[in-house]
Amino acid sequence: MDKRHLFQQRWTQQWHLFSKYLRYVFNDHAVLALFFLLGAAGLAYRNLWQHAPITLGTKALLLIILVITLVIFKTPANFLKPADPVFLMGDETALRRLFKTATLYSAVINGVMQFIMTLLLWPMMFRLLTPYLSVVILVTLVLVITKIILTITAAKRIAMYRQAEAGDMIDWRALIANEEKRQNSILAFFNLFIDVPGQRPSIKRHRWADRFIHNWPGHRQNPLVKLMVTTFVRQSQFAGVWVRLTAIGIVAGLVTTGWLQTALYAILMYLIVLQVLPLVASHQQLVFDHLFPVTIGQRQQAFRFAITPWLVLTIMIWSLVGFATTPSVTLLLQNVIGLVVVGGILVFWYTNRRIANTFRRRNSRAFTK
């Protein structure tokens, strides 16, 4: 290992790992859905920009959003590993060089992200705050510089011992813990799409859900239904995705109307099903999942029973939000019928094919071994 190029080596290793996972995240279906989602979001944003009322409330809201951007993407990276303080114990200069280079890298990256987020808000700033380009550029520069300063300050605050007598000593354990937390947050995102080695979703019992789980429709006909519903509720990996995408749909319903709203709802419905589909294979690492005599048809049926009530609840929430935004019976029926049709195709055709292909491949590999 060349200590002089430690940062470059660690950076290359990290992005090699991330690029491997990104291929699974941005597969053909996800890219297509994301393409339409971004296009619809762009149209919704243009509509909001052109028709946003110029009031004290909207101006204050925009200022709050600008301040909120400062706390997004501000975690500094340091690329340290748990064994570094021991392995490089005799050469702390290499660790300090890695820490300083990584801090500078984080400051630049976070500054660029701040510039992009502020740039996206330029149309609203011109409409609500000022018509002068020079003022908007000045605000952007102030925000970018502030983000860079916050990133460097955060890195130093984590690194330095709190004791006054510690002097210039660096708390390597705190830095390593912060880096592991940063890495785990990124890998947790990838773990929503594929099984990341070493990543285990947080599991927590929710007593309020016990009654719903015990009375879930279909659990008496199919023993897998209760298992899937329990996994969905207790693992943040699945329940969190449903909550986040449903919340995004609520926001989309507040800022759009007409066919654009229906199209956004349909795309988000597809993303919900796509992200929750791994629920079917979430127990395949257990030996009993292979030994228990369950057919592919039973797995397909269990997934339908487990996910349909959540999708129905999502359709109800989105339809009511759309109706509250635009009180039109035509739009309400359009949203309901469109979501029911899309949801039906996804649950009764798309997921059946995906589940069948997944478990046929698994059974084939087991047979050949």
Q: Token pair for residue 321? A: 């939000």
Structure tokens at 277: 């589909």
> Computed from CA positions of residues 129, 132, 137, 142, in that sequence, does the dihedral angle turn out positive or negative?
negative
Q: What does pLDDT average to over the chain?
A: 82
Residue closest to 113 by CA, chosen among 78, 80, 76, 63: 76
pLDDT in tens, 308-327: 999 999 999 999 999 998 88
Query: For 151, how many CA atoms within 13 A lie in the half-sphere containing its CB?
Result: 30
Rounded Cα–Cα distance for residues 250 and 323 (Å): 11
Beta bridge pairs of residue 203: 235
Residue 194 is predicted with a pLDDT of 61
What pLDDT is attached to residue 118? 94
Most confident of 87-91, 107-111, 199-203, 238-242: 107-111
Residue tagged 């739009």 (tokens)? 331
Q: For residue range 153-182, what is the model confidence (pLDDT) as tens digits?
A: 988 888 775 544 445 677 888 888 888 888
Buried b (16+ CB within 10 A) or exposed e, 106-121: bbeebbebbeebbeeb
Q: State the amino acid at position 148 in one-letter form.
A: I
**pLDDT of 363:** 57
Q: Which pLDDT belongs to residue 205?
A: 65
The residue-averaged pLDDT of 138-161 equals 89
Nearest by Cα to 149 from 82, 193, 104, 188? 104
> Of 16-20, 23-27, 193-197, which has the strongest mean pLDDT?
16-20
Q: What is the mean predicted confidence (pLDDT) over 58-78?
A: 88
Distance CA 150, CA 76 (A): 9
Backbone angle region of 295, left / alpha / beta, with phi > 0 → left and psi within -120 to 50 → alpha: beta
Which pair of tokens denotes residue 141?
Answer: 């520069």
Token duo for residue 273: 């099903």
pLDDT score of 114: 94
Phi-psi region of 73 (alpha: psi -120 to 50; beta: other; left: phi over 0): left
Q: pLDDT band at residue 367, thresholds of 50, 70 and 90?
A: very low
pLDDT for res 364: 56
pLDDT band, residue 33 (cuts 50/70/90): low
Which stretches within the chain are classed as H helix? Answer: 6-25, 28-51, 56-68, 84-87, 92-120, 122-128, 133-159, 172-190, 210-214, 223-234, 236-255, 258-276, 287-291, 296-325, 329-345, 351-368
pLDDT at 107: 93
Task: Return the pLDDT at 315.
Answer: 95
Q: Map 88-151 to HEC letters.
A: CCCCHHHHHHHHHHHHHHHHHHHHHHHHHHHHHCHHHHHHHCCCCHHHHHHHHHHHHHHHHHHH
Structure tokens at 259: 């066919």
Structure-block tokens of residue 351? 């997921």
pLDDT digits (tens, 9 = 90+) for 314-362: 999 999 999 998 888 999 999 999 999 999 999 999 888 888 887 776 6
How does pLDDT run across 260-277, given as a tens digit for each residue? 889 889 988 988 898 888
pTM above 0.75, yes or no: no
pLDDT of residue 164: 42
CA–CA distance, 94 with 90 (Å, rounded to integer) = 9
How do residues 193-237 score in pLDDT, each as one tens digit? 665 665 565 666 666 666 777 778 877 788 788 888 888 888 777
Provide long-range contacts, Cβ within 8 A and 24+ apart, for 240-244.
Answer: 241/192, 241/272, 241/275, 241/276, 242/272, 242/276, 242/310, 242/314
Q: How confident is the model at residue 4 (pLDDT cuts 50, 70, 90)?
A: low
| Token output for 258 | 């007409």
- Bridge partners (DSSP) of residue 235 are 203
In sequence order, the 6+-apart residues with CB closer than 8 A to the CB of 106 are: 75, 76, 77, 78, 151, 155
Kindly tell me if the per-residue pLDDT of 21 is higher than 60.
yes
- Range with the poorest average pLDDT among 20-29, 45-54, 171-180: 20-29
Tokens of 345: 């195709």
